[in-house]
Amino acid sequence: MFTYVLKTLWRHRTRTLLTVTGAAVAMFVFCFVGSVQEGLHRLTTGSDADRSLIVFQENRFCPTTSRLPEDYSRKIKEISGVRDVMPIQVWTNNCRASLDIVVFNGADPQQIKSTRPLTLTEGNWESFAKQRDAAIVGRNVAQRRGLKTGDQFSIGDISVKVAGVFSSTVPSEENLIYTSLAFLQYTRGLDAAGLVTQHEVLLTDNADPDQVANEIDATLRAGSVATKTRRKGAFQASTLSDLVDLIGFAHWLGYACVGLVLSLVATTTVMSVQDRIKEYAVLQTIGVRPLRAMRLVLAESTILCVVGGIAGTALAMTALAIGGFAIGAEGATIAFRPSIGLAATGTAVSLVVGVAAGLAPAVQAATVPIVNALRQT
């Protein structure tokens, strides 16, 4: 009977093709929306987000407005529960939401190597550590800007020599450019000698993040600049608050795409059943049971939806893998990456929607009055 189903679909090949294409487009959008949500989840959760703290200037938002003394790191190290402190100077070409944001993080090269899960795919650490104007570039930035080891890259007042390109197990890291702290502090126009944007605090295994954060702010309250210390994940979520709201709204767009596929496949299947109502009456006449007739219709709708869904999901995964897309604001970036979980979700949703879309037409085909159907011309 499977051959019969395929011949039925091929009989109206134009309608079948349009339905499959529509399902593919809808699932493509669904997977893209899902990748944005996964990117936000990865950025704001996990051990790194919960076991690291960000010390930022109080009542400041864009990195260019936060100016903390570098020697705050010495005072922070003395607090119980602090394992290490990394002063970071951040520079970005755009504090607003952007799909092509460039973010520089200036820090000590040895601390970058020891604290960040980076793997150089080009270049070497020695060149980066020895040259003051050297930088290592995340592979997504390198891909978007066409950079490779040895290139000179300039944007705004900053000009660096690419000493290497790195990949990371943390997708958002691949949208950053790392330089030495001194380079960004003394770059003309930044006027940041002795100052940093933020301090990243690494905690010991038994430390309470919230308690340590409160102690840091209390200790630095007597300093020249007041601070606000939060977990890294909470800090990034606050930084991207506008985008978080937008992504939350986009969540409903994903549901709308699922509804679109359901409506499209159901409409096509209903039309197919109505066009062949006499055929189903003949099948019942020759002994095809109602349940088998239902399975035939369900098979049609499921094939349409699954083929379109797999095609759309595969296209989305390919685009996400090749494109290296990311959106950022105020120095934080959300990376759009394909994942096995997202591909499995897209396929499963296609299967469920295909079955749901065929239920009503399947009942119609199984309960068709044989005599009345055969009288139709």
pLDDT-based confidence at 179, cuts 50/70/90? very high
**Does the pLDDT of residue 190 top 80, yes or no?**
no
Task: Average the pLDDT over 84-97 and give the result.
Answer: 85
First to last CA, the chain: 26
Distance CA 39, CA 83 (A): 28
Region at 56 (left for phi over 0; alpha for psi -120 to 50; beta for the rest) = beta
Query: Per the structure block, which two tokens stand in for 158?
Result: 């900053």
Helix, strand or coil, per DSSP, at residue 369? coil
Torsions phi, psi for 213 (to 5 deg): -60, -45
β-sheet bridge partners, residue 291: none
What sign results for the dihedral spanned by CA atoms 326, 149, 200, 154? negative
Between 337 and 373, the higher pLDDT residue: 337
Give the other-Cβ count within 10 Å of 253's Cβ: 13
CB neighbour class for 178 (10 Å; exposed up to 12, middle 13-18, buried from 19): buried
What does the pLDDT read at residue 8? 76
Task: Average the pLDDT over 164-175 and give the result.
Answer: 89
What does the pLDDT read at residue 311? 95
Helix, strand or coil, per DSSP, at residue 61? coil
**Does the pLDDT of residue 373 top 60, yes or no?**
no
Considering the chain, what percentage of its residues have pLDDT values greater than 70? 92
Its pTM stands at 0.79
What does the pLDDT read at residue 374? 62
Give the other-Cβ count within 10 Å of 164's Cβ: 23
DSSP state of 122: E
Between 118 and 1, the higher pLDDT residue: 118
Q: Are strands 158-168 and 134-138 parallel, antiparallel or unpaired?
A: parallel
Task: Average the pLDDT over 351-369 and give the result.
Answer: 84
Distance CA 327, CA 8 (A): 45
What sign results for the dihedral spanned by CA atoms 107, 108, 109, 110? negative
Query: Per the structure block, which two tokens stand in for 2?
Result: 């499977």
Task: Give how far Cα 51 sits from Cα of 13, 45, 105, 197, Å.
Answer: 56, 10, 20, 20
H or E segment to which residue 253 belongs: helix 241-275
**Does the pLDDT of residue 343 top 70, yes or no?**
yes
**Does the pLDDT of residue 44 top 80, yes or no?**
no
H or E segment to which residue 194 belongs: none
Query: Per the structure block, which two tokens stand in for 45?
Result: 């959760």
Amino acid identity of residue 177, one-letter, is: I
Q: Which stretch of 2-11, 173-182, 346-355, 356-365 has the lowest confidence by average pLDDT?
A: 2-11
Task: Average the pLDDT over 249-266 and give the result.
Answer: 87
Digit-coded pLDDT (tens) for 270-286: 887 777 767 666 776 77
What does the pLDDT read at residue 248? 77
> Mean pLDDT over all residues of the chain?
85
Digit-coded pLDDT (tens) for 98-154: 677 889 999 999 999 998 889 999 998 998 998 989 999 999 889 888 899 999 999
CB of 105 closer than 8 Å to CB of 166? no
H or E segment to which residue 147 belongs: none
Between 84 and 51, the higher pLDDT residue: 84
pLDDT-based confidence at 376, cuts 50/70/90? low
